[in-house]
Amino acid sequence: MRNISFCDFFLNRSLMKNNYYILGVTLVATLGGLLFGYDTAVISGAVESLRIYFIEPLGLPVGQASALEGFLVSSALIGCILGATFAGWLSQRYGRKPTLVMAAVLFLLSAIGAAWPEMFFGMPGSGDHTFMYHFVAYRVLGGIGVGLASMVSPMYIAEMAPADRRGNLVAWNQFAIIFGMLVVYFVNYSIALQGDAEWLHTTGWRWMFASGIIPASLFLFLLLFVPETPRYLVMRGRTERALGILGRMMSAEAAGRELDDIKASFSEKAPSMRPYFQFMGTWLLLFLAGYGLLSLLGNTSALEIALLLSFCVALLFPIRSFGVLIIFVGVMLSAFQQFVGINVVLYYAPEIFKTMGAATDAALLQQIIVGAVNLSFTVLAIFTVDRFGRRPLMIIGALIMAAAMLILGTTFYAHEVGLGSLICMLVYTAGFAMSWGPVCWVLLAEIFPNSVRSTVMSIAVAAQWIANFLVSWSFPMLDKSEYLTEHFNHGMAYWIYGLMGILAALFIWRFIPETKGKTLEEMERYWR
């Protein structure tokens, strides 16, 4: 009995050591998700300041000023689209870890440059509104980092995690995204309290962006201590190194079996990347041609129209190679996550609360409450997704969001904004956090066939960022349109997002199979 207890003791210690190692590399990878949330949400506390500092001195008409404001806020999303699109190729060519290192460097440069857009031209604070496009360039640079991390961080976790824990650990990446958003809400609120409104609109907003230097530096430093994924190492023929990493995550026997399974997965002929590169090349050429033509014609929305149309046309190449259904499901699953309006809440929450009558400080504080609700219900989703399944959570969450947005729009229309409107936003946020926030990423990671997962996921994530960009860009025009404001008092945008919630529920019910308890091989039969 003593011998058995002695062996069990050391076995348990070994398992604990393995678990700590897995947890450690997962936490480092989730810092990519944290910076994803931090960088995309930091803009929310600075929207008014950026409008006053960069846009109002231009003296533009209301319509043009609103469009420019939408572009300024959503400019980082252009980089996100680029980063997500190239993330699959970069991680395949150079590795998962180097791609994450690249993302961390871009995060760091963006944080410095956005706070100091007149860099190389003068000291911090010495510039004026003429440096607006320098600011945009640095935000695009950070967006590329976000796009890279948004795809590679969950993929890194999935390839490092044991099969029986993969879903749970991947879902924690969404928790990190929301945690990063919540942290930056506190940071923005704290910075806003350091001075008056004039200080905030001239200097304070710079400190909001500069605060990103700390998490970006931490991410870059910790990446030095994590390994490359075993799957990538096997793909490059470095099996001994892969076995060593697997041995740190599981027993020697299990590591050997896992290595054999990984090697077997690469024994089959790899699918051609030609459709992916055809898609990328066509998209780029059509975008440049469309943008140039529309700009010459004087179209003020040339960028947005060219981006959307060129993407849709370029999809013909992967559709012909992988099938209509798989591309449709990937693109729409990602697009609906944004069309329900979540990033309007995340980016513009302070402005929405000001519309409800809140002062700047109170609006930022209410945004923190929204972030806390988001974080809490994300944890709920993590612990329920494997119990209740993906489909029920996604459908219920979509219907909750739809109801909350429809009621919120009605409170604006009826001029009854107040506590009820705030409750609607909190209910909406909870509905998203328990469903479409984390579960969408879980589905994207497991629903596609092994042979085309990286390619289709790259396209799907790119579609998600395009949808994010379109929603973020269009909201100021919907919310501040004189006609819509006169007839619907800011309610129209929320009614549109409510309708999208209903359509999202119908999409899940009709096209998305339940993946709970199914192997990846079983999921491949869905596409045959």
Torsion angle, alpha carbons of 321, 278, 287, 504, to 10: 30
pLDDT at 370 over 90: no
298 φ/ψ sector (left φ>0, alpha ψ -120 to 50, else beta): left
In the chain, the percentage of residues whose pLDDT exceeds 70 is: 88
HSE, side-chain direction, 13 A CA sphere, residue 499? 6
pLDDT band per the 50, 70, 90 thresholds, residue 6: very low
Question: Between 7 and 150, where is the model more confident?
Answer: 150
269-289 tens-digit pLDDT: 555 667 888 888 888 899 889
Of how many residues is the chain composed?
Answer: 528
pLDDT at 12 over 70: no
The third-level CATH classification (topology) of the domain covering 12-226 is Growth Hormone; Chain: A; (1.20.1250)
Per-residue pLDDT at 348: 60
Which position has the token pair 């060219």? 306
Return d(Cα 358, Cα 418) in angstroms, integer: 9
How far does Cα 35 stand from its chain's mean position? 10
Return d(Cα 175, Cα 465) in angstroms, integer: 19
pLDDT band per the 50, 70, 90 thresholds, residue 357: low
Return d(Cα 60, Cα 371) in angstroms, integer: 34
Residues 397-415: what's their mean pLDDT?
89
CATH class in words for 323-528: mainly alpha
Torsion angle, alpha carbons of 430, 434, 438, 443, to 10: -140
Per-residue pLDDT at 9: 45
Per-residue pLDDT at 7: 46
443-460 tens-digit pLDDT: 887 787 766 777 788 888
pLDDT band per the 50, 70, 90 thresholds, residue 396: very high
Which position has the token pair 């459908």? 395
Per-residue pLDDT at 266: 63
Kindly state the tokens that stand for 440. 């969408």
Q: What are the distances in angstroms from CA 469 to CA 197, 250, 305, 418?
A: 29, 42, 12, 29
How far does Cα 410 stand from its chain's mean position? 29
HSE, side-chain direction, 13 A CA sphere, residue 87? 36
Closest CA to 377 of 133, 178, 162, 86: 178
Which position has the token pair 């044991």? 162
